[in-house]
């Protein structure tokens, strides 16, 4: 089986949405087995140890991999379960090269970027493709074509083409509109294509991100300066929802042209997808959801949660309007929450902002505001309940107060000897046994579900009987019953929290029940609310 590749690179600016472009290309080819490979130039092994301010959200895969958030886009668009080694970083590559050098694998040789590092990269790409029995491999190179740290990935791609592998190169650029003349300016795109040519890679397609659809004039200029035909210049205007992009591409016959170049027949029918997109664009109702977190300054910090809400909303015809609320200053949280129809407390680490989040949870519990807690959100909901319903005034997590008298949340026993930080949490897909007769059982209609985790702390089993006695229901646990994984409060319109991250497995075509129920409850809240 010949290997077929689509190389996705970017230029002019970073943050143009290469991940969404790659995911959309995958969507248009999804009748074939697609693997999505992301190459990041940084020297970290993975983004797991990075602050969301640095790198946006850390996405967690089923196999426990902590990977670039573009994998979120790939999995939300495509029927795939990505694997950790599909995310290549310079850190991973160099670690292997240095280990090989020490072992003596290169004995007698000078170890060099070319050929040793480029060989390692090509070998990894090919191994992934072959092992997954892929029919199309999409390789996205992070950053922009001018970046020094990504040079080696471009060089590996150039060599692969030279070695006769079929590789279609798609280059994403930005076309600014100069306000004073109201004209789309293509010069930055032309220069970015020149940089690609310097790396020895002629793009087959140039995708131009711009506020408006590309004018004929701009399209012709880009084609001329990029040595490609006009129809291979693809317009990527600003759109209301990222899920529109495969439709925008299909309208321009991008999929047909890509398939011709790759030698693949067929076409994807996107009718059902389009219906969901239409629901996002024309919702019946709008609800206001507050997300209380500490990384509120960066819009990508909670991207999977936002997308999971959009997925659920698309199925209900409800549009979630999301507001991020900073809780570092706990005072006045009640008044900040007034007017919202639902509250989400997302995952997080460290003490900052936690008292404010606990205050927000108390408000939601006492004011019948629909509430969903995620990971840290569940731990804080348990702390709030212990303090205010079980009379354990200084209940806390040992993450925030090592000496608390009532450690209702404490370190998982398996975490106690752990000293290093990289990839050492309880990570990845795990089974959750659902307790029958609960709201969770109604939602999931299954005795077990599998969801993804990323945590070190858990609800302290010693306090479970007391919490239950006071009315808290643990509706999901590990099959052996030792770790509490899902909780709910009966009698409240919607009050649920999970130790897992349902946002990492939600797809547009398969929303997660917890987000669906939150939005249903929020829509009801909207009706009864006096606003």
Tell me the pairing of strands 87-89 and 4-10: unpaired
Report 385-414 residues binding ligand GLN (CB under 6 A). 399
As given in the structure block, the two tokens for residue 388 are 């205010």
Contact, 383 vs 442, CB < 8 A?
no
19 binds ligand GLN (CB under 6 A): no
| 3-class state of residue 269 by DSSP | coil
User: Which residue's beta carbon is nearest to the bound ligand GLN?
Assistant: 347
Query: Which CB sits closer to ligand GLN, 41 or 347?
Result: 347
The answer to the question of residue 348 lying near ligand GLN (CB under 6 A) is yes
- Cβ-based nearer residue to ligand GLN, 222 or 372: 372
Hey, which residues between 453 and 472 contact ligand GLN (CB under 6 A)? 454-457
As measured in angstroms, the least distance from the Cβ of 486 to ligand GLN is 14
Known active-site residue 292: no
Q: Which of 375, 399, 406, 517 is catalytic?
A: 375
Shorter beta-carbon distance to ligand GLN: residue 225 or 349? 349
Count of residues of this chain found to bind ligand GLN when the rule CB under 6 A is applied: 10
Which residue is listed with tokens 């015809």? 317
Q: Does 52 bind ligand GLN (CB under 6 A)?
A: no
If the CB atoms of residues 57 and 255 are measured against ligand GLN, the closer one turns out to be 57
Residue selected from 349, 400, 404, 509 as contacting ligand GLN according to rule CB under 6 A: 349
Catalytic residue among 55, 406, 501, 525: 501
Of 116, 112, 508, the C-alpha closest to 280 is 508
Which range, of 113-121, 332-340, 343-351, 512-520, touches ligand GLN by CB under 6 A? 343-351
The set of long-range contacts for 428-432, using a CB threshold of 8 Å and a minimum separation of 24, is 428/60, 428/61, 428/62, 428/63, 428/64, 428/65, 428/452, 428/453, 429/62, 429/63, 429/64, 429/453, 430/478, 430/485, 430/500, 431/478, 431/479, 432/476, 432/477, 432/478, 432/485, 432/486, 432/500
The residue among 315 and 456 lying less far from ligand GLN, judged by its C-beta, is 456
Indicate the pairing of strand 183-184 with strand 177-178: antiparallel
515 binding ligand GLN? (CB under 6 A): no
455 in active site: no
- Pairing of β 457-459 and β 406-411: antiparallel
Asked about 501 being catalytic, the answer comes back as yes
Token look-up 């996405």 returns: 59
Counting contacts by CB under 6 A, is residue 55 touching ligand GLN? no
The answer to whether 135 contacts ligand GLN (rule: CB under 6 A) is no
| Catalytic residue chosen out of the listed positions 140, 155, 384, 503 | 503
DSSP character string of 202-243: --SEEEEEESSPPPHHHHHHHHHHHTS-GGGEEEEE--SSGG
Range in contact with ligand GLN (rule: CB under 6 A) among 88-96, 196-204, 260-268, 451-459: 451-459
Q: Rounded to the nearest whole angstrom, what is the least distance from the CB of residue 399 to ligand GLN in the complex?
A: 5
Structure tokens of 8?
Answer: 């996705």
- Residue numbers of the site for ligand GLN (CB under 6 A)? 347-349, 375-376, 399, 454-457
Show which residues are catalytic.
Answer: 375, 501, 503
């Amino acid at each position: 089986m010949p290997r077929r590749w689509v190389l996705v690179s970017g230029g002019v600016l970073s943050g143009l949405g290469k991940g969404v472009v790659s995911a959309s290309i995958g969507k248009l080819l999804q009748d074939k087995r697609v693997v999505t490979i992301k190459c990041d130039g940084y020297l970290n092994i993975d983004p797991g140890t990075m602050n969301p301010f640095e790198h946006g959200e850390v996405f967690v895969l089923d196999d426990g991999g902590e990977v670039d958030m573009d994998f979120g886009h790939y999995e939300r668009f495509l029927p795939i379960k990505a694997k950790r080694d599909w995310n290549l970083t310079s850190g991973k590559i160099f670690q292997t090269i240095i280990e090989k050098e020490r072992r003596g694998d290169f004995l007698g040789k000078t170890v060099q970027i070319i050929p040793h590092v480029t060989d390692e990269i090509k070998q990894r790409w090919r191994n992934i493709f072959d092992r997954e029995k892929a029919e199309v491999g999409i390789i996205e190179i992070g950053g922009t074509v001018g970046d020094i740290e990504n040079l080696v990935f471009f060089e590996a791609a150039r060599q692969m083409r030279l070695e006769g592998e079929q590789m279609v190169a798609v280059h994403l650029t930005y076309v600014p509109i100069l306000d004073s003349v109201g004209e789309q300016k293509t010069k930055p795109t032309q220069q970015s294509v020149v940089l690609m040519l310097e790396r020895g890679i002629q793009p087959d397609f140039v995708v131009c991100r711009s506020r408006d659809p590309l004018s004929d004039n701009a399209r012709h200029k880009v084609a001329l300066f990029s040595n490609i035909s006009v129809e291979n210049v693809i317009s990527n205007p600003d759109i209301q929802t990222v899920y529109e992009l495969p439709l925008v591409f299909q309208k321009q016959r991008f999929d047909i042209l890509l398939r011709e170049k790759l030698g693949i027949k067929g076409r994807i029918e996107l009718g059902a997808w389009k219906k969901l997109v239409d629901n996002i664009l024309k919702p019946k109702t709008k609800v206001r959801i507050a997300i209380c977190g500490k990384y509120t300054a960066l819009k990508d910090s909670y991207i999977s949660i936002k997308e999971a809400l959009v997925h659920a909303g698309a199925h209900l015809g409800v549009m979630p309007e999301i507001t991020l609320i900073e809780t570092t200053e706990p005072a006045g949280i009640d008044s900040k929450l007034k007017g919202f129809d639902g509250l989400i407390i997302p995952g997080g680490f460290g003490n900052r902002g936690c008292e404010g989040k606990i205050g927000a949870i108390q408000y939601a519990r006492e004011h019948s505001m629909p509430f969903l807690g995620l990971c840290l959100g569940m731990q804080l909901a348990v702390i709030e309940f212990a303090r205010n319903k079980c009379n354990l005034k200084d209940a806390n997590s040992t993450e925030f107060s090592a000496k608390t008298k009532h450690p209702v949340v404490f370190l998982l026993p398996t975490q106690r000897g752990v000293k290093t930080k990289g990839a050492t949490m309880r990570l990845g897909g795990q089974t959750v046994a659902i307790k029958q007769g609960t709201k969770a059982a109604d939602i999931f209609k299954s005795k077990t579900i599998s969801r993804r985790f990323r945590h070190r702390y858990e609800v302290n089993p010693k306090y479970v009987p007391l919490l239950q006695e006071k009315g808290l229901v643990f509706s999901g646990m590990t099959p052996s019953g030792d770790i509490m994984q899902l909780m709910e409060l009966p009698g409240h319109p919607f009050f649920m929290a999970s130790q897992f991250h349902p946002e990492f497995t939600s797809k547009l075509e398969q929303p997660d029940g917890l987000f669906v129920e939150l939005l249903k409850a929020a829509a009801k809240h909207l009706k009864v609310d006096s606003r």
